[in-house]
Structures are given as structure tokens and as C-alpha cells.
């Protein structure tokens, strides 16, 4: 069975937050590959395996999605709502990672399907602590569902020796801004 970790999909439009998260991942010793997309349209393309992300060997389905709610053109909530109607993607955990901690936004995010809601820390040490918490729970202790095979048969997918849903190679770069 291939034990290559599934990537983290980071949906974020702010370059500074992308950079802070990437630095915090290294400091917290999180070695999962990370794919970065900066818009809802690119997130849809990535999750559906459409160009330029069609080659699943290099762009496998993520094991975890980190989602900023404040994206250009559309709100990040659109991703959560869209995900609910896509069974193969609905099972991927989504952690909202955003600047707002307003109770109404938190409630709406959970109602739309978020699995967690995290507020962006004010400093780098806070980012490292946040990423450590994500690593401990979501990347170490949490058990992820097996994604369906292309024909939708999970059992066949598991029996073919790819039970964790990963490709045998990771993406060419640790992170790619798309």
C-alpha cells in the first residue's frame, strides 16, 4: 500500500498569509506537500482535476483543505457550499483559516460544511502553534476516508493497493502558487 501523504490544499489569495503558513509548516515539521490556489475558480479546477491540474499524479486530491473565507470575486463560503454537492470531495476535511472571529461568520461556515474554524494568528509564533495543532490532530491522529476510485468503487480502489488515495509521486514543488 502506498503511504505517500495526500497534499494540503491551501486556498488563499494573500501572499503574506501564504508565506507565513509555508514558514510555519516548516517550523512545525509538517512535511505534507502543499498546493496553493488563489481563487475559487482555481480551487474548483484543482478539486475536479481540470486543467491545469488534470494530472492527478502531480495534483492528487488533497487530504486536507485550508480555506480563507475572504477570496476575490466570490466568498470562500462558495467552496464549502459547492463541496457539499460533490460526494468525492465532500469527505475531504476543510478547515476555515481566516481573519474574522465574528460569531455569525463562524456559524455560517459550520452550517456550510466547515470541519473547523481557525482564526489567523497575529504573529509568526501563533502561526507555528496553530500549525502544530493542525499537525497533531488533523495530520497525525485523524483518520481520513479513502477517496473513491475514478469509477466510484472504493473497495476496488482499496484492493488495488492504493487505499490511501495517493499517487506514487508527490507534486514537483512543495508549494505552487496557482
pTM of the model: 0.80
CB of 170 within 8 A of CB of 4? yes
Quote the pLDDT of residue 75. Answer: 76
Using the 8-state DSSP alphabet, how is residue 177 labeled? B
Nearby residues of 155 by Cβ (< 8 Å), 6 or more positions away: none
Quote the pLDDT of residue 142. Answer: 84
Quote the pLDDT of residue 82. Answer: 93
**pLDDT tens, residue order, the chain (178 aa):** 456 678 999 999 999 999 999 999 999 999 999 999 999 999 999 999 999 999 999 999 999 999 998 876 557 888 999 999 998 899 999 999 999 899 999 999 999 999 999 999 999 999 999 999 999 999 888 887 776 555 444 433 333 333 333 333 334 444 444 4
The domain limits of the chain are 8-159
Helices (H) and strands (E) in the chain, counts: 7, 5
Nearby residues of 168 by Cβ (< 8 Å), 6 or more positions away: 2, 4, 57
**CA-closest candidate to residue 94, choices 115, 73, 119:** 115
**Alpha carbon separation from 100 to 7, 8, 106, 118, 152 (Å, rounded):** 26, 22, 8, 9, 37
Quote the pLDDT of residue 148. Answer: 58
Q: Give one word for 167, left, alpha or beta, with left for phi > 0 and alpha for psi -120 to 50.
A: beta
DSSP-H helix ranges across 122-178: 124-134, 154-159
CB of 46 within 8 A of CB of 101? no
**Cell reading at 47:** 478539486
CB of 50 within 8 A of CB of 22? no
Quote the pLDDT of residue 107. Answer: 95
Domain 8-159 has CATH 3.40.50.2300: yes
Amino acid at each position: 500500500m502506498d503511504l505517500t501523504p495526500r497534499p494540503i490544499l491551501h486556498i488563499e489569495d494573500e501572499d503574506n498569509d501564504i508565506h507565513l503558513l509555508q514558514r510555519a509548516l516548516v517550523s512545525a515539521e509538517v512535511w505534507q506537500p502543499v498546493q496553493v490556489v488563489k481563487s475559487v475558480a482555481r480551487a474548483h479546477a484543482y478539486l475536479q482535476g481540470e486543467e491545469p491540474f488534470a494530472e492527478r499524479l502531480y495534483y492528487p486530491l488533497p487530504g486536507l483543505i485550508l480555506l480563507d473565507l475572504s477570496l476575490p470575486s466570490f466568498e470562500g463560503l462558495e467552496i464549502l457550499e459547492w463541496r457539499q454537492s460533490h460526494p468525492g470531495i465532500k469527505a475531504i476535511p476543510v478547515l476555515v483559516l481566516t481573519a474574522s472571529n465574528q460569531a455569525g461568520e463562524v456559524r455560517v461556515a459550520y452550517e456550510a460544511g466547515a470541519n473547523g474554524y481557525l482564526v489567523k494568528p497575529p504573529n509568526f509564533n501563533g502561526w507555528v502553534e496553530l500549525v502544530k495543532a493542525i499537525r497533531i490532530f488533523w495530520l497525525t491522529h485523524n483518520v481520513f476516508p479513502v477517496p473513491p476510485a475514478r469509477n466510484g468503487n472504493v473497495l476496488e480502489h482499496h484492493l488495488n493497493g492504493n487505499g490511501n488515495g495517493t499517487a506514487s509521486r508527490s507534486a514537483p514543488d512543495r508549494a505552487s502558487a496557482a
